[in-house]
Amino acid sequence: MRDFARAIVQAGEHDFETVFRRTLQFTNGLDAGGMAGPAPAAHVPFLFHGVEARMDPMAREYAWRDLVAAEVLRVVRADADVVVELGSGWSANLFTLWLRGAPKGALYVGGEFAQGGREAGSAVALTRPQMKYLAPAFDWSTPDFSFIPREARHVTVYSCYSIEQIPELSADAIRALLARTTAAESVLGVFIEPVGWQYPEQVTDQGLLERTRRYAQEKNYNLNLRQVTETLAREGRIEILGVAVDAFGYDHNPATVIHWRRP
């Protein structure tokens, strides 16, 4: 992705929307340029609140990115100073937020574990110099939130399938985030993660429950996000605003959307 984004920019493509779209196509195994014809990838069942849809992979990718953006935009104030994704990959979600009308004056931070992801995000962001964008190193295992300006008044922070990668998230990671943002007037957050099976009492489809639990265990994915958020809520550090279990996504690991805020 980094090499692809860099190469198209070097070849003279400087339009942000085009660079973003072509890189998004590239991540789906399609030739850039919209001339790919029938998509090579298999049509994987995709769920919208329990309803299965079969879609062309690029249609699914656009739908997915917009669904994620819509959930994040619910916790972005018009006067937000900072919007942070933790474990952002190449920041496809942050770029989608920008294109979908997130505040143009905010600082966008794509904290990412992999250097290649940070460099790919930076290559795309260079084509949109008005966007204040940073791509610092971030690791949930040794979280350092110093990239969030202490003076930020309104902060939005979210994750999308990156806590997934951490089998046992430490509640201290979120405590450290809250400690870094104590001066802020508002801290709003959302975790978009495949943890629906951690809310078994809310899953009516037993097949889905078993399939998603097994998938998380086999992949060594996150096992305790519910526990972490509920512990922090009991401590009064966060208020859970809503949990939408298995809201949308692939039928083997759909997203559960947990909105929260600092009280």
Ligand X SMILES: C[S@@+](CC[C@H](N)C(=O)[O-])C[C@H]1O[C@@H](n2cnc3c(N)ncnc32)[C@H](O)[C@@H]1O
Q: Does residue 160 touch ligand X according to CB under 6 A? A: yes
Residue 12 beta carbon to ligand X: minimum distance, rounded to whole angstroms: 27
Q: Tell me the C-alpha distance between 187 and 238, whole Å.
A: 9
Q: Does residue 87 touch ligand X according to CB under 6 A? A: yes
Distance, C-alpha 103 to centroid of its chain? 17
Choice between 19 and 166, CB closer to ligand X: 166
Backbone angles phi, psi at 242, to 5 degrees: 180, 150
Handedness of CA 33, 36, 42, 46 (dihedral sign): positive
Q: CA 239, 240, 241: angle at the middle one, nearest 5?
A: 105
Which of 119, 109, 89 has its CA nearest to residue 157?
109
Q: Which among 158-166, 207-215, 234-242, 248-256 is the span making contact with ligand X, rule CB under 6 A? A: 158-166
Pick from 16, 138, 158, 197: which binds ligand X (CB under 6 A)? 138
Q: Does residue 140 touch ligand X according to CB under 6 A? A: yes
Q: Does residue 121 touch ligand X according to CB under 6 A? A: no
Q: Does residue 20 touch ligand X according to CB under 6 A? A: no
Q: Does residue 141 touch ligand X according to CB under 6 A? A: yes
Q: Tell me the C-alpha distance between 39 and 17, whole Å.
A: 21
Six-digit token pair at 65?
């990115």
Q: Tell me the C-alpha distance between 248 and 252, whole Å.
A: 11
Pick from 72, 76, 89, 118: which binds ligand X (CB under 6 A)? 89
Q: Does residue 162 touch ligand X according to CB under 6 A? A: yes
Q: Does residue 8 touch ligand X according to CB under 6 A? A: no
Q: Does residue 95 touch ligand X according to CB under 6 A? A: no
Applying CB under 6 A, the residues found at the interface with ligand X are 87-89, 92-93, 112-114, 117, 138-141, 160-162, 165-166
